Amino acid sequence: MRVLTVPRAELDPEAALDRLLSLGPVDITEGIGGLRVLFAESPSLDDEVARALGRSPGRLHWSAPVLRDGGTTALLEVRPQRVAGLWLAPVVDGASPPAPTPDGLLLRDSPVFGSGAHPTTVLCLEALAELPPAPRVIDVGTGNGVLALAALRLGAGVALGVDTDPLAVQEARANATLNALADRFTATLSGPDAGLGRAPLVLANVLAAPLQVLAPAIAGLVASDGDLLLSGIPEGVAEEVTRAYLHVGMRRGPVRSRGGWTCLHLRAGW
């Protein structure tokens, strides 16, 4: 990903906007200084943008994007976003956070996964919003706690987030406090096989390989007739991951995809 800046002094932003939109940018903003446009990298990007703007490639102003989610998400800037009816608002260190709201989550701006911008998180949040609130939720690989805390905002009773990264556990607890949800949220440094009990709703947005390896442990967390949301799965291996869970007694449910990623909704077969 690269960010193109088109200074207002060099080119009429409105004219440039129409031309740049035809190239399919990932994101675009307009400010006092001009346009900032986020593009996915391609071998012909410089030439295509130069032709659209009527200037030589050497006169283009490029910069690096803002990286979040462990470097897997490229952004123009860190800013609030609305996902599945919830406002996800970043809180930068040193800034005074606003008061929590019933339809939003405040998330500390940190390197831990869970900014809310990654397609795998968006898919999970969309699926979560369509489920009835569960009395208990377990979030495997909780990261900064965004999914577990979103479940609480959407009406869940209590939530447990587990992660093997101490920084993730620290950030998840901090975000729970920031959102006045610490009395209903617990974060622990562990994996899914640590005697966590069962829950009517289990979430796991991690990589496809560990999802397959941990299928017996993760499925074992799901209560009778409960729901399991799995994300972090490239579309090309979604069926392979599904089979791993069918093998341990889960049943197929809805599947949703975005940006080459898949979220599986499975149901307990017991």
Contacts of 54 (CB under 8 A, 6+ apart): none
Contact criterion met (CB below 8 Å) for 109 and 93? yes
**What was the pLDDT predicted at 176?**
98
**What was the pLDDT predicted at 15?**
77
**What was the pLDDT predicted at 62?**
95
Q: Parallel, antiparallel, or unpaired: how do β-strands 136-140 and 104-108 relate?
A: unpaired
Domains within the chain, CATH numbers bracketed: 2-64 (3.30.70), 81-268 (3.40.50.150)
**What was the pLDDT predicted at 34?**
84
Of residues 211, 219, 228, 202, the one with CA closest to residue 139: 202
**What was the pLDDT predicted at 33?**
78
The mean pLDDT values, 10 residues at a time, for the chain of 270 residues are: 87 79 91 88 94 90 91 87 94 81 93 93 97 98 98 98 98 97 98 95 97 98 98 98 98 96 97
pTM of structure = 0.88
